[in-house]
Structure 1
Amino acid sequence: MENALKFYIDGRWVEPCGTDRMAVINPATEQAFGEIAMGNLDDVDAAVHAARRAFPAFAETSPASRRQLLERVLAAFMNRYDEIADAVMQEVGAPKALSHDWQAGIGRRHLEQLLLTLDTFEFQKKRGTTLISQEPVGVVALITPWNWPINQIVCKVAPALAAGCTMVLKPSEIAPINALLFAQVMHEAGVPAGVFNLINGDGPTVGAALAAHRDVDMVSFTGSTRAGTEIARLAAPTVKRVHQELGGKSANILLDDVDLELAVTSGVDSCFGNSGQSCNAPTRMLVPVALHDQAVEIARRAARAHTLGAPDDAATRMGPVISERQFDAIQKMIGIGIEEGAQLVCGGLGRPAHLPTGYYVQPTIFANVTQDMTISREEIFGPVLVIQPYETDADAVSMANDSVFGLAAYVQSPDVERARKVALQMRAGSVYINYPNWDASAPFGGYKQSGNGREYAEFGLEAFLETKGIVGWGA
């Protein structure tokens, strides 16, 4: 695409400082379909300094004017909606319907929700004779992942913009095309020069430099827990704010009164969506021991419905995983599950026989999984579901919470009061009762090693604001 070998800095498409390049691989074909420039420390400095220069003026703009700017961003986003969806399909490998309806669709919904949020959000309020003022945190570095790329870009950029911050975006270098298109959206919407900047690059170079940069006031990062801890370490000397959305190993508790066919099938579908590459996917299905074998057979049938194939084939329900590296990591975890004695229900090692090319992972289910097994404890980030039997509700809650992660949890029961009681005991940032519709106004983020802070709606907006109390303001 146009400008793929450039960066967007200070309102212009500019040549990178270095000459490093990286191929963009289509995971369905294993072939390059494009190339991007890779940034270096000089590019980071240029982008951060542009954001720093732009901050004083943009911070002084009114919330009403920033809302109008976001309306223009939404309009420009919709003008390029199909381009963005097609880019995600090609670089991530998400099936066409998923790319159009959800990958790009969530970006639209975040913008719409934030516009609604701004209609009622109070940037200033009185408490007696004290004025409480919420003001932009400053220059922010936004480091986003490849699995839901435009979702994570928009849910960071939009609230940062609404707060009055200026920013530097470093998208994933293995899914960068949708981000370059989004930079065009921002330009076409008339975002002032220097307010939004984009540079491509890898984590150890560009990501690390942004995290450590003395002129960056905040880092918002979504990705692995391992990378998140490194970003926090790099950011510590400058005491900048670090906002993280990290890994997960989410439990899905099926209570003993569920419609088992519906609950298991929906759980399999939710786990395998986006080829299992969702940090909040319900990858641990906890079922009553008496229902375990029946649940396993339902899960086996449900897995067969996840047809693997080319993302642009209308019959495809599951595409490839993102990269050879990801494919190999998932294969390793499947091998560990087999070695540790879990019951392999379906799927397993290797590509499907009919798809020798592409990073296709067979939809895999393990049963009779115990709490000490690696596949029960470590994030796999692929289409792998583990089924674990439990004895009592209390056992299920204990097993679900016995994890270093706490991003999401799921509870299934026709008895809503019973499900609510269990939900309140979950040590997770999001709990979903009976597979509800996605809610753009709900907070998103995790407990424990799943991160800190929250995204979406006013929760995401507040993440980019500092709170100032002016005592003695008066009546």
Structure 2
Amino acid sequence: MIEKRDFYINGRWVAPAHPRDLAVIDPSSEEPCAVISLGDKADTDAAVAAAKAALPHWVATPAAERLACVERILAVYTDRAAEMARAISLEMGAPIDMALNDQVAAGTWHITNFITAFRDFSFLRPLGPHAPGAMIAQEAVGVAGLITPWNWPMNQVTLKVVPALLAGCTMVLKPSEVAPLSSLLWAEIVDAAGVPPGVFNLVNGDGAGVGTQLSTHPDVDMISFTGSTRAGVAITKAAADTLKKVCLELGGKGANLIFADADADAVKRGVRHCFNNSGQSCNAPTRMLVQRPIYDQAVEIARDLAQATRVASAHEPGKHIGPVVSQVQYDRIQTLIETGLREGARLVAGGPGRPEGLNRGYFVRPTVFADVTPDMTIAREEIFGPVLSIIPFETEAEALAIANDTPYGLTNYVQSQDGARRNRLARQLKSGMVEMNGQPRGAGAFFGGVRASGRAREGGHWGIEEFLDTKSISGWDGV
């Protein structure tokens, strides 16, 4: 049993003020694998006070030194990649190979892109030649409260901690209490990289406790949160009394528009993306909209691929999907699968219950529903599991209407060989991101949505700017 009760505050590992043990559950076995402690107000206050005290020095630290600090973090993170993969696999169920090659690698990708973006970043620039003496300055927001989820732990930790460091903010991180081990290791990495005491702090806790304490704390200037839309609304309300900056990256219900002229691998690509990380990704393309001429063929391809998708323990090497993260998550997914059946969707693969041969662990059968209508629950609610809904359409206009008929707006996808059509749809789809024909977004592109998906912009220079306030100055000497 791993014991990790201490918090990282002011450059030291400290015991909780009032210990409150919580077991971390291995989702592959349903057995406790570690124990942490949940913090209370005294711990949160101590961490915020440390961040506040460290802020003047860190803000004044030259940008080149902050960059060098992040470069050291990257080096230590790279050295401990295998250890980080084991922590992620154990705490949230990512298969060990996927944990290393995707989960840990996501952190490496973001840190590297932030370093690249920061090398050309300017904190002070002229407004323009039309306004001599007018300058625009960007300055650190202050003390940031960072609240991260369990599904892509290092993806989200690096998207918040690294730009906050570069911007000159100090911070308190509250990782998910469901999957805290990777973030505790991250704190060790930050410490080993020589980040000054008080700049980075970590307190474990739940949303109702430490999460709310950070959201309402008068000395916290900003909250950056990734998680459910419901929790994002609650955080926004909690933060309102102190008028702090709130950045939210929330849920999604991505539509994948597959036209009759799509490339031969479009359906397979969409199914794999939906099932990746056991479906526990906010940008998963869970609504597959298929044009009628290729609809039956697409359903068959999706069925065959779902049936061929192996489900196994996160601790086994190889290409497969692991369990979902918890009993709560497993039960929710099962309820939504049953709802799909009850509302008349046609089940073509998977269904309720665990995969054959797996009677222990939070394993879900890769599931495909066909003939889904846009008003069905499984087409509207974020399931966060390996469940795909296939919806037919006739025309481009119909596909667009179905895709936009959602409160969410994170990522949408388009598969077509018609470049003019792709360009039209990219502008008309109501989402923060659009990915087309399987092409990834470029290095340094932001991640973020609109509407109920939140409006954070994480990654690249946009991600750094999230942690900055902008100041307009007149009468500058020397311009």
TM-score in terms of structure 1 length: 0.98
- 2:49 paired with 1:45: no
User: 1:302 offset after TM fit, Å?
Assistant: 1.3
Shift of 1:452: 1.4
Q: Taking every aligned residue pair, what percent have the same amino acid on both sides?
A: 51
Contact between 1:257 and 1:414, CA under 8 Å: does it hold in 2? yes
Other structure's SS at 1:313 match:
coil
- For 2:385, the aligned partner's letter is G
In structure 1, the partner of 2:244 is 240
Alpha-carbon distance in 2 for matches of 1:375, 1:2:
38
- 1:252 equivalent to 2:256? Answer yes
Partner of residue 331, structure 1: 334
Tell me the distance in 1 between the aligned counterparts of 2:194 and 2:241.
35
Q: Alpha carbons of 1:406 and 1:274: their partners in 2 closer, same or farther (altered >3 Å)?
A: same
State the shift of 1:2 in Å. Answer: 7.7
- Amino acid paired to 1:71: E
Q: Distance in 1 between matches of 2:295 and 2:373?
A: 13
Name 1:426's counterpart in structure 2. Answer: 429
Q: Aligned-pair distance for 1:51?
A: 0.4
What's the offset of the Cα at 1:3?
7.0
In the alignment, is residue 366 of structure 1 matched against residue 360 of structure 2? Answer: no
Give 1:150 deviation, angstroms: 0.8
Q: Which amino acid aligns with 1:121?
A: F
Q: Distance in 1 between matches of 2:355 and 2:319?
A: 14
The root-mean-square deviation of aligned C-alpha atoms, in Å, is 1.1
Deviation at 1:316, TM superposition (A): 4.4
In structure 2, what residue type is equivalent to 1:136?
Answer: A
Rounded to whole Å, the distance in 2 between the matches of 1:57 and 1:135 is 14
Determine the structure 1 residue equivalent to 2:359: 356
1:390-422 superposed Cα distances (whole Å, 9 cap, x missing partner):
110010011100100000100001223321221
1:445 aligns with 2:448: yes
Which residue, out of 220, 227, 239, partners 1:223?
A: 227
Q: Distance in 2 between matches of 1:353 and 1:308?
A: 9
Partner of 2:190: 186
Matched residue of 1:264: which SS? helix
Give deviations 1:44-77, integer Å, cap 9, x for gaps: 1000011001101111111111111111111111
Q: Quick one: which of 398, 403, 406 aligns to 2:401? A: 398
Structure 1 residue 143 displacement after superposition = 0.1
Is the 8 Å Cα contact of residues 307 and 315 (structure 1) preserved in structure 2?
no
Q: Distance in 1 between matches of 2:301 and 2:238?
A: 47
SS in 2 for 1:82: helix
Cα distance in structure 1, aligned partners of 2:452 and 2:441: 23
Deviations 1:426-468 (A, max 9, x none): 1000100111135441111111100012000101000000111
Aligned ranges 1:46-445 → 2 under 5 Å:
46-127=46-127, 128-259=132-263, 261-437=264-440, 439-445=442-448
The DSSP-based 3-state class of the residue aligned with 2:332 is helix
| Amino acid paired to 1:424 | R
Distance 1:327 1:457 in 2: 34
Aligned partners of 1:211, 1:371: CA distance in 2, in Å? 36
- What whole-Å deviation, never above 9, does each CA across 1:269-322 have from its counterpart, x for those lacking one? 000000000000000000112322111101111112310011222344110000
Which range moves more in the overlay, 195-204 or 122-131? 122-131
2:3–2:34 contact (8 Å) kept in structure 1: no
The answer to whether 1:465 aligns with 2:465 is no
Q: Counterparts of 2:38 and 2:351 in 1: how far apart (Å)? A: 36
Q: Distance in 1 between matches of 2:441 and 2:24?
A: 31
SS at match of 1:446: coil
Q: Is the 8 A contact 2:37 2:205 kept in 1?
A: yes
Q: What do the CA deviations read for 1:310-340 (whole angstroms, capped 9, x no partner)? A: 1222344110000000000000000000000
In structure 2, distance between residues paired with 1:180 and 1:219: 20
| Alpha-carbon distance in 1 for matches of 2:146, 2:318 | 36
Q: Distance in 2 between matches of 1:48 and 1:203?
A: 17
Question: Which stretch of the first structure deviates more once superposed, 126-135 or 183-192?
Answer: 126-135
- Report how many aligned residue pairs link the two structures: 474
Which stretch of the first structure deviates more once superposed, 127-136 or 66-75? 127-136
Q: In 2, are the aligned partners of 1:308 and 1:316 still within 8 Å (CA)?
A: no
Deviation per residue, 1:230-250 (Å, 9 max, x gap): 000000011100000000000
Find the residue that maps to 1:168 and give its secondary structure.
Answer: strand
Structure 1 residues 188-242: Cα deviation after superposition (integer angstroms, max 9, x where no partner): 0000100000000100011011001000000000000000000000000111000
Give, as a single letter, the amino acid of the residue that structure 2 aligns with 1:447.
V
